[in-house]
């Protein structure tokens, strides 16, 4: 029924083993191939069995006809069964639809040893689709990850992480790998995970920042992509207990240099990510309105944000008008970001509501040279600042915050042996993805989310 002109020469003996899609997104039209994958979907039509095969690189419609469709295995085929199919790649006939506009006309197949997937009551479709409540789906995340929507975010995540590495290399940052087990806090005691370290108290790191700062004198500008841990005691759609923290630290810079670097990095990462046609297609599917943010990003001082919130009648957490000194809560921050509807650098937060290490603004010592980058739909994605470079000031900051300086001796030493104007930031990868892929929650932007009440699977 297909025009013979579509059919390319057979190589009976040695068909090439191929993935279901090449890196550039193209297929293998017109060749005889051998493919491996799992049954994503199957559909029987008269004497023809249509199988959509999935291998993590793509989807391929396979057409089994004649005796091939009549075997016991074909008649009892279950979803997720792992198999190998031989055949020729054809273009789909006009009017028909298949992934990448092609189909494999099978002449032989093998069910992979042990590859048969459970059927009946235990079939994956019964497990995953029938009971759709959020907690059950999270219990079954090892299976839901096989779905098209869930895995699309993971593909984008892989591309974004790679794009950060590439961008940092273009900017000549060196990658380092600071420890996860530490004895110092960075972002306040309230969210520390404590554990017993051979009889001593230790914590899971909240941020690698302090360690990155120690690398500047030897390595120049540095970055890391590591896990950070926060014992967040509230359940929100943007807080995880374990998240991937992309952090960079830059030496001999001004606060303006820092802001410029952050926006250039974000835009370059997006350019690299979108330059992959497969990834760009996933993003457009999930976030059809996606637009490359325009540079420069909007810059807004904290004090102006407080005024803005007052003018727009957005109250603080006590239900009262915002006033200078208030922590801008998640809900208010998001409403403001959604109304302004573009990336915002919110800068110059008061000393009292920010971390101990932040440099004060020389023009107004009530505030710090600090920045949060806010994105529509999610809110804060980046937190950064210039760092206190003066020894005495840092000692005063420990005291103000009630921090024992003793375990910080190595951090303090940076101010003793050749201090420098420097600063950096941390970006939450899951929040960045929630924004880019328009996901309701960061929980859908990591492989196996960890948050209060969940540490499984
Ligand atoms: O604003 P934060 O707490 O800043 C720091 O940790 C700095 N020491 C980073 C630095 O300057 N090197 O966190 C930075 C970012 C936030 O903007 C957010 O995107 C993410 O980390 N983040 C979380 N993401 C998911 N779950 C959580 N519980 C998060 N806490 C922070």
| Residue nearest to ligand 1 atom 23, measured at CA | 428
The answer to whether the CB of 425 is under 6 A from ligand 1 is yes
The model carries a pTM of 0.94
Name the band, by pLDDT with cuts 50, 70 and 90, for residue 25.
low
First to last CA, the chain: 48
State both tokens at 293.
């943010």
Asked if pLDDT for residue 6 goes beyond 50, the answer is no
The answer to whether the CB of 449 is under 6 A from ligand 1 is no
pLDDT tens per residue across span 61-96? 999 999 999 999 999 999 999 999 999 989 888 899
Name the band, by pLDDT with cuts 50, 70 and 90, for residue 131.
low
The answer to whether the CB of 245 is under 6 A from ligand 1 is yes
Mean pLDDT of the chain: 93
Report the nearest atom of ligand 1 relative to the CA of 243.
Answer: 25
From 173, 222, 228, the mutation candidate for ligand 1 (largest count of ligand atoms within 8 A of CB) is 228
Neighbours of 204 (CB within 10 A): 18
The answer to whether the CB of 243 is under 6 A from ligand 1 is yes
Task: Specify whether the CB–CB gap between 249 and 176 falls below 8 A.
Answer: no
Q: What is the pLDDT of residue 20?
A: 80
Asked if pLDDT for residue 357 goes beyond 50, the answer is yes
SS3 state at 116: coil
Asked if pLDDT for residue 12 goes beyond 80, the answer is no
Neighbours of 28 (CB within 10 A): 21
One DSSP character per residue, 232-297 reads --S--TT--SEEEEEEEEEES--HHHHHHHHHHHHHHHHHHHHTSHHHHHHHHHH-TT--PPPSSP
* Span from the CA of 239 to the centroid of ligand 1 (angstroms): 10
The answer to whether the CB of 382 is under 6 A from ligand 1 is yes
Name the band, by pLDDT with cuts 50, 70 and 90, for residue 127.
confident
| Residue nearest to ligand 1 atom 27, measured at CA | 239
* Span from the CA of 428 to the centroid of ligand 1 (angstroms): 6
Task: Specify whether the CB–CB gap between 313 and 307 falls below 8 A.
Answer: no
What percentage of the chain has pLDDT greater than the value 70?
94
Question: Which tops the pLDDT comparison, 365 or 30?
Answer: 365
Which of the following CATH numbers is that of domain 142-445: 3.20.20.70, 3.30.930.10, 3.40.50.2020, 3.40.50.300?
A: 3.30.930.10
Asked if pLDDT for residue 176 goes beyond 90, the answer is yes
| Residue nearest to ligand 1 atom 7, measured at CA | 426
Asked if pLDDT for residue 9 goes beyond 90, the answer is no
Name the band, by pLDDT with cuts 50, 70 and 90, for residue 334.
very high
Question: What residues does each domain of the chain span?
Answer: 4-120, 142-445
Give the mean pLDDT of 291-307: 97
Q: What is the pLDDT of residue 76?
A: 94
**Helix ranges, 300-377 (H):** 302-311, 330-340
- For 4-120, give the CATH class: mainly beta
Q: What is the interface pTM, i.e. ipTM, of the complex?
A: 0.99
Q: What is the pLDDT of residue 408?
A: 98
Report the nearest atom of ligand 1 relative to the CA of 208.
Answer: 12
The answer to whether the CB of 232 is under 6 A from ligand 1 is yes
The answer to whether the CB of 374 is under 6 A from ligand 1 is no
State both tokens at 425.
């930031």
Task: Specify whether the CB–CB gap between 369 and 423 falls below 8 A.
Answer: yes
416, 246, 360, 297: CA torsion to nearest 10: 140
Name the band, by pLDDT with cuts 50, 70 and 90, for residue 129.
low
Name the band, by pLDDT with cuts 50, 70 and 90, for residue 133.
confident
Name the band, by pLDDT with cuts 50, 70 and 90, for residue 24.
low
The answer to whether the CB of 6 is under 6 A from ligand 1 is no
Give the mean pLDDT of 308-331: 94
């Amino acid at each position: 029924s297909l025009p013979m002109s579509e059919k390319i020469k057979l190589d009976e003996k040695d068909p090439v083993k191929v993935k279901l899609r090449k890196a550039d997104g193209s297929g293998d039209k017109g060749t005889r191939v051998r493919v491996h994958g799992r049954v994503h979907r199957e559909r029987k039509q008269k004497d023809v069995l249509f199988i959509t095969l999935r291998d993590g690189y793509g989807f391929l419609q396979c057409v089994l006809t004649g005796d091939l469709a009549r075997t016991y295995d074909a008649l009892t085929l279950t979803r997720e069964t792992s198999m190998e199919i031989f055949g020729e790649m054809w273009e789909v006939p006009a009017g028909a639809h298949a992934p990448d506009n092609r189909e494999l006309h099978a002449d032989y197949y093998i069910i992979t040893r042990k590859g048969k997937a459970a059927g009946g009551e235990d079939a994956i479709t019964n497990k995953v689709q029938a009971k759709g409540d959020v907690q059950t789906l999270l219990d079954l995340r090892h299976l839901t990850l096989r779905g098209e929507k869930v895995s699309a975010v993971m593909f984008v995540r892989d591309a974004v992480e790679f794009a950060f590495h590439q961008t940092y290399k273009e900017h000549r940052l060196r990658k380092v790998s600071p420890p996860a087990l530490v004895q110092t806090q960075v972002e306040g005691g309230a969210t520390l995970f404590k554990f017993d370290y051979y009889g001593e108290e230790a914590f899971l790191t909240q941020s690698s920042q302090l360690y990155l700062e120690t690398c500047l004198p030897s390595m120049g500008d540095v970055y890391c992509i590591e896990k950070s841990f926060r014992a967040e005691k509230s359940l929100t759609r943007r807080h995880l207990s374990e998240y991937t923290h992309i952090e960079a630290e830059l030496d001999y810079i001004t606060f303006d240099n820092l802001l410029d670097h952050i926006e250039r990095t974000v835009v370059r990462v997006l350019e690299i990510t979108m330059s992959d046609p497969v990834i760009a297609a996933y993003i457009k599917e999930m976030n059809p309105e996606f637009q490359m943010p325009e540079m420069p990003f909007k810059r807004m001082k904290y004090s102006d944000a407080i005024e803005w919130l007052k003018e727009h009648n957005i109250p603080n957490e006590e239900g009262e008008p915002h006033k200078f000194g208030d922590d801008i809560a998640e809900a208010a921050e998001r409403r403001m970001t959604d109304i302004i509807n573009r990336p915002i650098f919110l800068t110059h937060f008061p000393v009292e509501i920010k971390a101990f290490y932040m440099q004060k603004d020389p023009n107004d010592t009530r505030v710090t040279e600090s920045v949060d980058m806010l994105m529509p739909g999610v809110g804060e994605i980046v937190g950064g600042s210039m760092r206190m470079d003066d020894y005495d000031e840092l000692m005063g900051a420990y005291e103000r915050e009630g921090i024992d300086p003793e375990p910080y001796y190595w951090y303090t030493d940076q101010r003793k042996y050749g201090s420098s104007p420097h600063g950096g930031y941390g970006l939450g990868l899951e929040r960045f993805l929630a924004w880019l892929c328009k996901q309701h929650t960061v929980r859908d932007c990591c492989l196996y989310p960890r948050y209060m009440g969940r540490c499984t699977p």
